[in-house]
Amino acid sequence: MAVAQISPEQQVMQMGSGYWASMVLSTAVRLDLLEGLAGQPGSASQLAAEHGYHAESVVRLLRGCAALGVAQEIAVGVFALTELGRLLLADHPRSLRDAVIMLTDPGHWNSWYQLEHTVVTGQPAYQKALGVENVFDYFASQPAESERFNRSMASMTRAFVQQLREAYDVTRFAVIADIGGGHGQFLGALLQAAPQSRGVLYDLESVVAGADAELSALGVLDRVEKVAGSFFESVPAGADLYLLKHILHDWTDEQCSKILERVAAAMKPGATLLISEMLLAEPPALSPAALMDLNMMVMTGGRERTASQMEGLLSSAGLKFKRVLALPGPHQLVEATA
């Protein structure tokens, strides 16, 4: 049986209504409806009764989930999760539950609504949407949203770290410093693969203060030195490998130059810098990172960059661009030395 081809008009409408899918998924996750299907298929009316929700609306929402492929209706009003849907469960080892919610939290949702403002004025959308000069000031004032943001970053790190382990040998470095490393999920996962190495976790005081639970869970707390500070002011010296994972895309070229200058000043002879970003293809080639570049424009005032742009930033900071390592996913590794 031939599969019907959708028309160009349908394609355009699917793109235009893309936010429908975002809201269907995040609402089903926020309301714990998918968690209710974790163990076995469940009745939508029973789920509604358990939570005190409107029964017919729950049925219709779950049918929307089925249309998106995260659930299936196996009998009238009875739903089961698909393998895709299991990625939205809290206990899945590669769970994206927090990430899906984060994308419709006020910080992201309201900022993206102001994309037109950014395109017209060049000013970051979040400034108009959230009323702050620095988006991280907004997150500091919204602890629940900030914690969900941190958890979502950690969840996306889990798949990435395995790719990095397979592509790059970190065991040869005695001291690994993760600059802007959050709660240490990335650094800790790398140290698990490098049992002879020690780590330095560097981030703001308010961030590293909450890292013990993550580092303990990974079994590396006794091998990590936590250092508080701002990478615009200084970076801990003496490490053999410095990591900048998804840091530079948050900032302007001028700000990135300052960060890289601080890293360069801290690097001893022979030290290595490893940067992880979604590199843009060199124009005019089509780039899968173009939408993430827009997200950075909206959410931080930063940007994704091409390999040549990254090389220029490194050179201006006194660092030597060595190579780009492609990973199976959307991210690449940029290796540089002092």
Mean pLDDT of 6-29: 96
| CA–CA–CA angle 327, 331, 333 (5° rounding) | 70
How many residues would you count in the chain?
338
If you average pLDDT over residues 47-55, what whole number do you get?
98
The count of C-alpha atoms lying within 13 angstroms of the C-alpha of 11, restricted to the half-sphere facing its C-beta, is 5
Q: Which of 108, 183, 246, 249 is catalytic?
A: 249
Q: In the numeric block, which tokens belong to residue 187?
A: 């650094």
Cα(158)–Cα(154) distance, integer angstroms: 7
Q: How confident is the model at residue 329 (pLDDT cuts 50, 70, 90)?
A: confident
User: In the prediction, which pLDDT does 210 show?
Assistant: 86
Read off the tokens for 326: 């492609």
b/e sequence 145-177, b meaning 16+ C-beta within 10 Å: bbebbbbbbbbbbbebbbebbeebebeebebbb
Amino acid 188 reads G
Q: What is the pLDDT of residues 100-145, one digit of tens each?
A: 999 999 999 999 999 999 999 999 999 999 999 989 899 989 999 9
pLDDT for residue 291 is more than 70: yes
How far is Cα 115 from Cα 123, in angstroms, rounded to an integer? 10
pLDDT for the residue numbered 3:
54
Q: Return the residue matching tokens 């500091």.
A: 140
Return the minimum-mean-pLDDT range out of 42-51, 148-157, 282-291. Answer: 148-157
Task: Give dist(CA 158, CA 7) in Å, integer.
Answer: 38
Tokens 């650094």 correspond to: 187
C-alpha span between 155 and 88 (Å, rounded): 11
How would you classify the pairing of strands 332-337 and 272-277?
antiparallel
The whole-number pLDDT of residue 4 equals 66
- Residue 2 clears pLDDT 70, i.e. is over it: no
Find the mean pLDDT for residues 22-34: 98
Answer yes or no: 51 catalytic. no
pLDDT of residue 328: 83
Q: Check residue 173 and give its pLDDT.
A: 98
Amino acid type, 259: I
pLDDT over 60 (residue 50): yes
* Portion of the chain with pLDDT greater than 90, in percent: 85
Q: Which residue has the tokens 């540089």?
A: 336
Structural domains in the chain, sorted by start:
8-92 (1.10.10.10), 153-284+300-337 (3.40.50.150)
Q: Which candidate, 318, 207, 332, places its Cα nearest to that of 278?
A: 332
The pLDDT > 70 percentage for the chain reads 99
pLDDT of residue 162: 82
Q: For the residues 79-93, what does the mean pLDDT come to? A: 96
Looking at the DSSP assignment, which residues form a beta bridge with residue 73?
A: 79
Strand 320-326 and strand 241-245: the pairing is unpaired
Over the stretch 165-202, which tens digit does the pLDDT of each residue have? 889 999 999 999 999 998 899 999 999 999 999 999 99
Mean pLDDT of the chain: 94
**Rounded Cα gap, residues 249 and 325, in angstroms:** 18
Residue appearing with tokens 């976790």: 201
Residue 302 zone, left/alpha/beta (φ > 0; ψ -120 to 50; rest): beta
pLDDT at res. 95? 92
Going by C-alpha positions, the residue among 224, 197, 192 that lies closest to residue 211 is: 224
Per residue in 270-283, pLDDT tens? 999 999 999 999 99
334 contacts 277 by C-beta, under 8 angstroms: yes
Q: Three-class SS of residue 163?
A: helix
